Amino acid sequence: MSEFFPNIGKIPYEGKNSTNPLSFKYYNPDEVVNGKTMREQLKFALSWWHTMGGDGTDMFGCGTTDKTWGKTSPEERAIAKCDAAFEIMDKLSIDYYCFHDRDLSPEYGSLAESNAKFDVVTDYLKEKQAATGKKLLWGTAKCFDHPRYMHGAGTSPSADVYCYAVAQIKKAVEATVKLGGNGYVFWGGREGYETLLNTNMSLELDNMARLMHMIVDYARSIGFKGDFYIEPKPKEPTKHQYDFDTATVIGFLRKYGLDKDFKMNIEANHATLAMHTFQHELRVARDNGVFGSIDANQGDTLLGWDTDQFPTNVYDCALCMYEVLKAGGFTNGGLNFDAKARRGSFTPEDIFHSYIAGMDSFALGLKIADKMISDGRIDSFVADRYSSWTTGIGADIIAGKADIAAIEKYALEKGEVVDSLSSGRQEMLEAILNNIMFSL
């Protein structure tokens, strides 16, 4: 088989003093950090949509990079994409990939034909996985790009569209199971609304939950043992996306009894759009037992839309990996680069430069997070800050031993409490974090 990137060899780890741009400075797959190798801790995944299909097209202009993989027919191109993707994964030491059904194989004249041609591609992927040991992290269905989904898929006002979506998702779940994926993602592309003047919100959400229950039951019946994920996003493409943020999604899952099967796929840029930090979203997920997987990218805080940039902000990567380590690491999930090279970075080498930048940032993030934990200054500050809850009245409240009358009595006797407050020391803690980061 001919190579798609003949000028690029396997990307080596050369360490932080290397000046070779086509080498890893920090990502050393076999190095052990916090009890596991970096490749096990980070579980990097390639995103089929941006990497194999994204050609730089935006609202203002056509593509700038050729992602036809040398083929004109859609069937041949789909196969060539598989070969090129596996070459990229091999050269970058990436073990996993993620797909939308239509990134693997486009739509054809009918659902039956689309399904049959999709099968050919997933059969081929299964062979490639067996030959290389690469794995599927998660699959999903593209229920947002075709015009039929203009008003939503699982939340469409049309029952016919809803049925099409159920059938499409059923097929995508079958492919995920066939390829041994341990995750299935729902990102509610067009599941949201523009105006309540034309929207029955409660029916739309009830229907979405019905769809999810149907898919969960079916997936379990064909042997899917992995996690379902919802990927929160507050806006884009609709003004009000139903899955605004992690807290909103948890409310939805609990209301509809879906919380046992679903976890979160947290995307960094979506957190930014929700006016949260990436760490906040991860913490809400961790604290509620729904931390699952991560779409690792970064947004631009000066722009209000989804830029899906490769992550280079090491500070954010460190705080992300701190949450991941505190959650006990990934189980079924991993770090998927839902990220694209910028439109002006249009050459084949830019794919590699982008992944190297993202992977090295997360490798640094992992090492810093590990050091934050072993250093212990930040964790022990937080523990100390809440020490009034470990003894006396605080401990009694937590143990359920202090009722409202006892608490009132305590407050009356205690009098003013300002003098016993201690500083939050935010600046000191930020300086400690810098100290940990820059003394690696």
Q: Which of 50, 95, 101, 103 is catalytic?
A: 103
Residue 174 or 267: the one with the smaller Cβ distance to Co ion is 267
- Should residue 243 be labelled a site residue for ligand XUL when binding is judged by CB under 6 A? no
First CA to last CA distance, the chain: 42
Q: Are 45 and 98 in contact (CB under 8 A)?
A: yes
**Catalytic annotation present for 90:** no
- Minimum distance from CB of 274 to Co ion (Å)? 13
Asked if residue 231 binds ligand XUL (CB under 6 A), the reply is: yes
81 interface partner picked from ligand XUL, Co ion, none, CB below 5 to 8 A per type: none
Among 338, 352, 362, 402, contact with ligand XUL (rule: CB under 6 A)? 338
Least distance from ligand XUL to the Cβ atom of residue 45, Å: 11
| Spatial CA neighbour of 274 closest among 317, 295, 304 | 304
Q: Which amino acid is at 161?
A: V
Distance between CA atoms of residues 334 and 125, nearest Å: 20
Q: Which is nearer to ligand XUL, 26 or 164 (CB)?
A: 164
Among 306, 316, 323, 360, contact with ligand XUL (rule: CB under 6 A): 306
- CA quadruple 327, 333, 334, 340: dihedral sign: negative
Structure-block tokens of residue 238: 């609709």
Q: Is 279 in the site for ligand XUL (CB under 6 A)?
A: no
Cβ proximity to ligand XUL: between 13 and 224 the closer is 224
Residues that bind Co ion (CB under 5 A): 267, 295, 338
Q: Is 295 in the site for ligand XUL (CB under 6 A)?
A: yes
Lookup: tokens for 296: 């690792």
Q: What angle do CA 378, 382, 386 make, to 5 degrees?
A: 165
For the bound state, the minimum distance from the C-beta of residue 297 to ligand XUL, rounded and expressed in Å, comes to 8
Give min distance, CB of 185 to ligand XUL, in A.
Answer: 6
Is residue 103 annotated as a catalytic residue, yes or no? Answer: yes
Picking from 132, 49, 21, 33, the residue whose alpha carbon sits closest to that of residue 308 is 49
Among 50, 95, 100, 227, the active-site one is 100
Q: Which of 162, 187, 229, 310 binds ligand XUL (CB under 6 A)?
A: 187
The binder of ligand XUL chosen from 43, 91, 233, 340 (CB under 6 A): 233
Cα atoms in the Cβ-side hemisphere of radius 13 Å centred on 128:
24
CB of 338 to ligand XUL, least distance (A): 5
**Which of Co ion, ligand XUL, none does residue 103 bind to, with CB < 5 to 8 Å depending on kind?**
none
94 makes contact with ligand XUL (CB under 6 A): no
Which residues are near ligand XUL by CB under 6 A? 49, 100, 140, 185, 187, 231, 233, 267, 295, 306, 338
Q: Which residues are catalytic?
A: 100, 103
